[in-house]
Chain A
């Protein structure tokens, strides 16, 4: 793409007399440095648009239009860029005056002057040192671009989390019978969101082991009966968003079981199992089976927990979960293509 800084490892030679350019080209070719050549001002502008890493200009090439084309190119450089320019001067040229003039005409360039004739080794080492400096600049550029990208991503994630919190609050408020219940349910849900966030972050940021999510989501209830959640399943990596949704669903199931379900009785249990089965596609099945609790009957009106679990698991698995108010205990079973969990 023209105009976009490329790899910056190419040298552009501006030498109106063919022999100078040919000599340098041969020298650089021999040392495997990439070269572009320009003869007149038009060609110079076109080659500069291809974003060479540095420029070599001979004294006799420096006319008014060349000066201004290069100045324009330098002015358009991004912040991180400072183009190295090697200027080859004749012995008889007024060196001090040319240096003064170019340093004003070409700000934000790194100018290196050689007096002709230049020994091949001297020129080559100057070029290589300039290209190395350019490489460092390129690293700075990559770093800046990465930082911009990260800031954008961070903003996006913060917005998503705030949207999630708003949704949790709005829905908790609807189902809360008192301010105390609102406060308790809301902080419990936020804590579950926070716990899974930390878990995903510690796991490296993109995927997390399902058993890790389950262990951490159940751990706040260990003392209260959460240790009677018997979790069993293979090690499975799920994506950040899928993991978050599963954690929030588990939180609802666990708090419900502690308040009204099997975990409200000392002898009550939950069997939480998950498995992958490969047929035409790999299917993930998760089962939450309660037993040993008080007799269960379907509530007349579904609360936050049940409604959220239905909605979230439907979205995550691609089909609605099976939620059964079995007399022996609540059962929640969800199955769907594992591809949806990446």
Chain B
């Protein structure tokens, strides 16, 4: 299954390597480009200059604590839209302004495909 539009370059902020591994394969199956991952907010900041991305998937709890919402706000300031991917939708709901949507874990390819398209519409105006 591939998208008729050009592929999106997606970054993934998640500290469970198994989930990164799985979602990376899903992103590629959808015809998009997996543009890397980081396990903590600190690691994202340290490596941000080297990223060329259209959007980010962001977990709530990362290797440096509950820093997902702060990371999404930080990405937003740098012109990158985020989507939360989390088992804690209630925490994501407390930060509606920093992410376009929330995807519940476990991630299904169908939902992922639909939500990633949101990044396309919103990524353009920046």
Residues of A near any B CB (own CB < 8 A): 156, 159-160, 162-164, 166-168, 170-171, 174, 241, 245, 248, 307-308, 311-312, 315-316, 318, 340
Contact = CB atoms under 8 A, between A and B. Distances in A.
Given A162-B106, A315-B37, A167 B15 contact: no
Given A160-B87, A166-B106, A315-B39, A340 B19 contact: no
**Listed residue (A164, A167, A171, A241) with the most chain B CB atoms within 10 angstroms of its CB:** A167
A245 B21 contact: no
A312 B21 contact: yes
Contacts of B20: 311-312, 315
B38 to A, nearest CB: 8
B18 interface: yes
A241 B21 contact: no
B106 A163 contact: yes
Which are the 5 A-B pairs with shortest beta-carbon distances?
Answer: A167-B22, A312-B17, A159-B87, A166-B106, A167-B18
Contacts of B105: 159, 163
B25 to A, nearest CB: 7
B16 A241 contact: yes
Given A170-B22, A311-B17, 15 more contacts: A160-B16, A168-B18, A170-B25, A170-B26, A171-B18, A171-B22, A171-B25, A245-B17, A245-B18, A307-B21, A308-B18, A308-B21, A311-B21, A311-B24, A340-B39
Contacts of B76: none
Interface in B70-101: 87-88
A328 B86 CA distance: 44
14 contacts: A156-B87, A156-B88, A163-B18, A163-B87, A171-B18, A171-B22, A248-B18, A307-B21, A308-B18, A311-B20, A311-B24, A312-B21, A316-B17, A316-B39
Contact of B16 (A164, A171, A307, A308): A164
A325 B126 CA distance: 44
Contacts of B37: 315
Contacts of B15: 241, 315
Given A156-B88, A318-B43, A163 B19 contact: yes
A159 B63 CA distance: 17
A156 B17 CA distance: 17
A166 B18 CA distance: 9
Given A315-B39, A318-B43, A163 B25 contact: no
A168 B105 CA distance: 14
A311 B37 CA distance: 9
Contacts of A163: 16, 18-19, 87, 105-106
Given A156-B87, A156-B88, A174 B17 contact: no
A315 B18 CA distance: 10
B17 A315 contact: yes
B104 to A, nearest CB: 10
Given A156-B87, A174-B25, A315-B37, A167 B19 contact: yes
A119 B44 CA distance: 69
Contacts of A308: 17-18, 21
Contacts of A160: 16, 87
A306 to B, nearest CB: 11
A90 to B, nearest CB: 55
Given A156-B87, A159-B87, A241-B16, A167 B21 contact: yes
B85 to A, nearest CB: 10
A51 to B, nearest CB: 27
**Listed residue (B17, B19, B22) with the most chain A CB atoms within 10 angstroms of its CB:** B17
